[in-house]
Amino acid sequence: MTVNPHGYVILGLESGGAPFTLEEWIGLIHPDDRGRVLEAAAAHHAGQTPAYETTHRLRHVQGHWIWVLSRGRVLERDAQGRPLRMSGTNLDITARVQIEEVLRERERELAQVLEHMPGLVSRVDREGRYLFASPGYERWFGRPVSDIIGRTQREVIGARRHDELKPLIARALAGEIVDYEGRVQSARGERFVVGTMVPDRDPDGRILGQFVFVTDISERKRTEEALQKALQRLLQAQKLEALGTLAAGIAHDFNNMIGGVLGHAELALHDLPPTEPAALALRQIRATGQRARAMVQQILSFSQGGTAPADVVDLRTVVDEAGAGLRVQAPAAVQLQLDLGERPCLLVGDTTQLHQVLLNLCMNAWQALPEGRGRVRVVVRGDEREVCLQVSDDGHGIDETTRERLFDPFFSTKPPGQGTGLGLAVVHGIVQAHRGRIAVRSSVDAGTSFTLHFPSAGTAAAPPARPGEEPVTPTTTNSVQGVGRHVLYVDDDDTMREVAARILERAGWRVSTCAGAAEALALLEQPGQDVALLVSDLNMPAASGLALCAAVRQRLPALPLVLSTGYLGDEQREQARRLGVREVIAKARTVEDLAAVVAQVIGADRAPGLEQGGS
């Protein structure tokens, strides 16, 4: 076997060394490659291949292995076709094989990265056809990558999304690196993505197409949106708290002023024949005052955010009781339908607050009807888990921008002077206090429905009222006359004292009025005082009505006590109960209820010696 000088060199031997035998040369072949090499040689020797060619390893004199590309051909055969002489070459390709191995390793690494990366990578030509797509495309679009290659972007991502991206694609094909974000419809639904388009250039700088890198940020976006909503709720809560404090203070003062207006109007009407022109003006004043009073009650309801309810009520009964009043208030062209269902719908709730919720929702519904004409439907349903109240209309609907602000206090779509913007804010506060939630479904020109979901109270029976909270059932002012008994009325507002005194005196009571707690205590301590009942405002500057009641209870434990207030919190109510306060008059209803409550309390309390203040 003859080997040229370079053949010795690639094996690390000196050029022109001793000749190799065929067996020696075969012994240099790597054991793992030897069988394959001999098979290829045998096939060629047998005439099965036109030439012999293999890539295999040979042992270097220093002990390591080199790669060679071995090629050869039989040059001469005997009469039986057996090879007599063969010529060939062995080319050292070690460096090339090492480079190819590095490249293969890089390809494996890249394939692993592309397989597990959360985003998408693709290469697209100028016509928008995919030349390459990472494995993520299969997960995203539900089709094999092989099916994506050769298709256009329009086919894969959809015509609408492609049309949105067209201007950006044009910029990338003009040589610009383009960043973008948006929504993409994937096999798993809509996803929010950020992407980058990078021009694909050849060595001469010509733009062949673009590389597209896409990252799914749906989870991050949802987290950001949730955080933003939480911040908005926090800001809203802080704003509501501040507005509530302001509203409560304003409402207290307004209650006094409106009470004075209504009181004087009512007293004047009592003295005038109904046909007098002045009586008509007074009735208009009274109606305006009542509307103002209702608005103040809305402000108070908003500022309180709904008090925690404690009674089990049937929502069907609440709606049924309110139905007659709603039909009276509804515009003539509005058809009000009540669907109360078949089974009880029990929840832990406050009947007055639920009436307020229903009224506000119904007013909101019929005001949304075009030209004040249409249908408003109230549906009550319930099961073991929840009780639902739905108020729906077939009005003009609510757009998305308005829906986002529906429950913002003082937000209104009505013209100035036609709405306070508190109706739905009050509803929201009361529903939250009842541990409920509100679902709104609406679209422009397709009507609106508000569905209130409350936790069900199951089949529980209604608990008894808490001590000191039995509801007042006012009698008419003439049903029990005062017969000269003495009532002390305490209020820091001059007008309220004057109105209260005239109302009680007209009902036959003797009345003393005081502007504060100190003055009232001084009067009660006078010898021979014969006060049969104390009525006190709750909110007074120097000492509150509760402080006055506490002082009176120490001095005159048998004297009946009544409070007048626009709002009594749970803590204050409990304090009033401990002090033995008999009744609480809603400040806004002083004109209607004062004489009746006084008659009821004194009529029910005939304790010996009471005429002498219990002494």
H or E element that contains 390: strand 386-393
Q: Could you report the per-residue pLDDT of 505-545, keeping only the tens digit for each?
A: 988 999 999 999 999 999 999 988 899 999 999 988 889 99
Instruction: State the residue for tokens 């709720």.
Output: 233
Q: Which tokens hold the place of 362?
A: 């119904």
Pinpoint the alpha helices (H) of 91-208: 94-116, 136-141, 145-148, 153-157, 159-173
374-382, strands of its sheet edge to edge: 334-339, 374-382, 386-393, 448-455, 437-442
Q: 226 in a domain, yes or no?
A: no
For the chain, how long is the longest CA-to-CA vector?
A: 158
Give the count of beta carbons closer than 10 Å to the beta carbon of residue 432. Answer: 14
Name the domain count of the chain.
Answer: 5
Decide if 234 is inside a domain.
Answer: no
The CA distance from 368 to 423, in Å, is 14
Give strand pairing partners of 86. Answer: 74
Which residue stretches of the chain have pLDDT < 50?
Answer: 416-417, 460-480, 606-615
pLDDT value, residue 174: 95
pLDDT recorded at residue 126? 95
On whether both 27 and 11 belong to a single domain, the answer is: yes
**pLDDT value at position 464?**
39
Same structural domain for residues 196 and 167? yes
Strands 386-393 vs 207-216: parallel, antiparallel or unpaired: unpaired
Rounded to whole angstroms, the Cα distance separating 424 from 408 reads 8
**Quick one: pLDDT at residue 572?**
86
User: By residue range, what is the domain housing residue 199?
Assistant: 117-216
HEC secondary structure over 361-384: HHHHHHHCCHHHCEEEEEEEEECC
Q: What is the pLDDT of residue 482?
A: 56
Q: Does 368 lie in the same domain as 439?
A: yes
Closest CA to 372 of 394, 342, 398: 394
- List, for residues 132-179, the tens digit of each pLDDT value: 998 888 888 888 999 999 999 999 888 988 999 999 999 999 999 999
What local confidence, expressed as pLDDT, does residue 565 receive? 86
CATH number, domain containing residue 529: 3.40.50.2300
Q: What is the CATH number of the domain that holds 13?
A: 3.30.450.20
Domain identity same for 270 and 403:
no
Whether 299 and 320 map to the same domain: the answer is: no
Extended beta strands in 156-307, E state: 178-186, 189-201, 207-216
Give CA–CA dist 278/273, Å, rounded. Answer: 9
Closest alpha carbon to 25 in 8, 39, 40: 8
- pLDDT given at position 605: 54
Tokens 């096939």 appear where?
A: 43
